[in-house]
Amino acid sequence: MRSVGRKSISASATPRALMEEKVLANVWTARVLTLYPEMFPGPLGQSLTGRALKDGLWQLALTNIREHGLGKHRAVDDTPTGGGAGMVLRPDVLDAAIRAAPVTGPLLYLSPRGQRFDQAMARELAAGPGVTLLCGRFEGVDERVIEAHGIIEVSLGDFVLTGGEIPAMALIDATVRLLPNVLGNAASTEEESFSHGLLEHPQYTRPNDWEGRKVPDILLSGHHAAIEAWRREQAEEITRARRPDLWADYQARKDAKG
């Protein structure tokens, strides 16, 4: 297993060179089991998450599933029992990969049939020691390894990708940005979409008049209470129109509070 942390990261960095790092103690860790470790850190090595990775605010540990493959050709998959298209990742191979290093935090499998990943789950993961992510490929993984390790299946939405690496990166990004000191302004995470069960209000900046489109007067008033009330009204209206599911949950929570 290789880890990434406290090292200069750039778009041209060689992933394998970045992996040759010692594991940092007491640092939030994302361990990723994948057939394509060269895909990491990818976009996680850029911008705020990349800076935080370089500064040791979190670390990335990679387990190459292929290294635990069978035989001369390191086979990792086989045909579906009972027939069917595609290939399935073998339980013995995945078991060996999982046991190759300590499981950090919950063990999640990125799968379209899993429970929906959301901001609440990101906050829960950020509050723990880290997360271990299994990236599937082909037709998925043998059900027995899911049962044996108590793996939790998590989905980013009702769509199918070629593998779990891109969802894993999205999950890590959404979680790492909630870690202490990763964002310069902690209020940013408190005001954005989903933080209060609502989508975010519209945002504006200079110029105040752009091609005849003006910033709402209320935002220029300096009246902070009025601005906050306007933003809440906008967030509620946007949520009601675009995400009736979130709006129903929001209304239910309000009613429960009386």
Q: Which residues are annotated as a binding site?
A: 136, 156-161
Q: C-alpha angle with apex 56: 54 to 61, nearest 5 degrees?
A: 90
**Residue 205 CB partners (closer than 8 Å, separation 6+):** none
Residue ranges for the binding site for S-adenosyl-L-methionine? 136, 156-161
Question: What single-letter DSSP state applies at residue 6?
Answer: S
* 3-state SS class at 134: strand
- The long-range contacts involving 50-55, CB below 8 angstroms and separated by at least 24 positions, are 50/9, 52/176, 52/179, 52/181, 52/182, 53/4, 53/5, 53/9, 54/5, 54/6, 54/7, 54/8, 54/9, 55/6
Task: Using only the alpha carbons of the chain, give its radius of gyration.
Answer: 22
Tokens of 152: 């939790």
* 3-state SS class at 85: coil
Tokens of 122: 């990101």
The distance of Cα 117 from the centroid of its chain, to the nearest Å, equals: 8
